[in-house]
Amino acid sequence: MSTLLLAGCASTPRIPPQQPMMSGITDKPTVQSPQTKLRGGPDARLAVLLSSNTIANTQYLRERQTAFDEKFDGNAWSAPYQLVLDPGFSLAWIAHSLRQRFGTVMLVPDANAAINGRFDGIAVVDVFFEPYDKGIPESTAHVTVAFYDAQFRYIGAAGGKEYKAATGFCCWAYSEVVALARTHQKTIANALQDFDTRLPYLVETSPGGVPKPRNNAVGATR
């Protein structure tokens, strides 16, 4: 796989430098909420804000996937790595998890919209995923979703643990290509599962019960 995907390429650009999670969202000091959990349920409304890191990361993956598609268009062996670069994977996962616990989950453009929109709570999503490639020796991922009450006072955060996987070589069969791609996608999947594990401690109820298992991993069938 390394020969197929990496040889002859210039070093892949690195992800933009990370900013403080609340950069561009609010410059006010963090105030602790008297709440320890957000209220969930069918009538609970959650506003979602994306950090500048998440926006930059999504664009970074989109550009890498586009460049990869142009270079290896039509090569069936490249398909697993194309899925690793999926720019929408993390946000789709997080949206699915939040919709299991809130009746309404709405992406809003800024803090004012979140505060003035009659929401029961606010979530700020911060995603980092840099998959391996030439010049990037390992895949690295971490996901943090911080929860706030309706007045933008801090309640707690889910996720935050960092996961890594070193670049592998010597893939001579398609099954090995799939296995290697899964190993690297697992870094972001593990970071998202870490978020899922912590989520019930921050939300009182779940209208949809336990989230259904996902089959959108590399090589999985729907």
Q: Which residue segment(s) compose the domain that 192 sits in?
A: 41-201
Q: How far apart are the first and last CA of the chain?
A: 25
**Which CATH number belongs to the domain containing residue 75 in this structure?**
3.30.160
The confidence score (pLDDT) of residue 210 equals: 43
- Say if 65 falls within a structural domain: yes
- For the chain (222 residues), the mean pLDDT of every run of 10, in chain order, is 48 91 92 97 97 97 91 78 92 98 97 97 98 89 98 97 81 78 93 97 70 40 28
**pLDDT at residue 168, as a whole number:** 63
Taking only the tens place, the pLDDT of each residue in 139-185 is 999 999 999 999 999 999 999 999 999 876 556 677 887 888 888 89
The pTM for the full model equals: 0.86
Residue 95: exposure state from Cβ atoms within 10 A (0-12, 13-18, ≥19): middle
Burial degree of 168 (CB within 10 A; 0-12, 13-18, 19+) = middle
Q: From CA 131, how far away is CA 218, in angstroms rounded?
A: 14
- For residue 63, being part of any structural domain is answered with yes
The pLDDT value recorded for residue 151 is: 96
* Assigned domain for 108 exists: yes
70 within domain boundaries: yes
The pLDDT tens digits for 185-201 are: 999 999 999 999 999 99
Cα 206 to chain centroid, rounded? 21
What's the structural domain count of the chain? 1
> Is residue 217 situated within a structural domain?
no
Is 33 part of a structural domain of the chain? no
DSSP bridge pairs for 147: 123, 156
In a domain? residue 208 = no
Structure tokens of 59? 């664009």
pLDDT value for 9: 52
Rg (CA), the chain: 19
Residue 15 lies in a domain: no
